[in-house]
Amino acid sequence: MTIRIARPSDAAILAAISIEVWLGTYIRRGVNAFFADYALSEFTAARFFALLENPKEHIWVSENEDGLDGFIRVSEGQVAPIADCSTTEISTLYVQPRHHGKGIGFQLLKLGLAFARQSGSTSVWLTTNSENAPAIGFYLRQGFEKVGTTDFRIQDQAYRNDVFKRVL
């Protein structure tokens, strides 16, 4: 496993991993048009290319001999949905399910936290689906604490997310 800064040429791969992980994590009983439309419009190469060009967005990827298997995105200047959080968000930490348990998420998170600390942030925050027990357990084991809840919205529908914070 190699961890490196994401390149513009990774944009389509980041979109594909995002679709795979997002659908696999949050869609439990079958993909309907509502969620398919969201995933296909949200997770695009063009959006990732724009993120990679934004100086407040930082993405690192995990790469194995065949290609990318995960990534972390750290966003600066983000207002948290809960008071007393910094403006540094762990926006995304996705690892392909077949690569879970190999330490990839841990290594990506470690790098993201080190970057936030070096950038002067005193803490980071993130959100995760309130029903995503594996992710919640992972973040708690990494020293995050639940500080509240918020809603993730797709059009007029709301989905409960937990907000976590970690002091650096």
Confidence of residue 157 (pLDDT cuts 50, 70, 90): confident
Calculate the average pLDDT of the chain. Answer: 96
Any residues with CB less than 8 A from the CB of 133 and at least 6 apart, and which? Answer: none
Q: What is the dihedral of CA 29, 33, 39, 45, to 10 degrees?
A: 140
Instruction: Judge whether residue 1 has pLDDT over 90.
Output: no
Instruction: Judge whether residue 45 has pLDDT over 90.
Output: yes
pLDDT digits (tens, 9 = 90+) for 142-153: 999 999 999 999
DSSP state of 87: S
Report the C-alpha gap between 87 and 85 in whole angstroms: 7
Instruction: Judge whether residue 26 has pLDDT over 90.
Output: no
